[in-house]
Amino acid sequence: MFSALRSQPFGQWLLAFVALGLFAFGLYSVLAAIYRRINPEM
């Protein structure tokens, strides 16, 4: 699947964009887990 996409003229840029998006989402998830406060009185 990735080799067919990578062989396209824009494939490497698209894969880099997807990788950057996954990295950003992972960073957001880690920061949200660290800084999220849960109210136990609810």
Give pLDDT, residue 32: 94
Q: pLDDT (tens digit, 9 = 90+) per residue, 1-42? A: 677 777 888 888 888 998 999 999 999 999 999 998 888 887
Say how far apart CA 6 and CA 13 lie, in whole Å.
9
Give pLDDT, residue 39: 82
HSE value, Cβ hemisphere, 13 Å, CA-based, for 25: 6
Give pLDDT, residue 37: 85
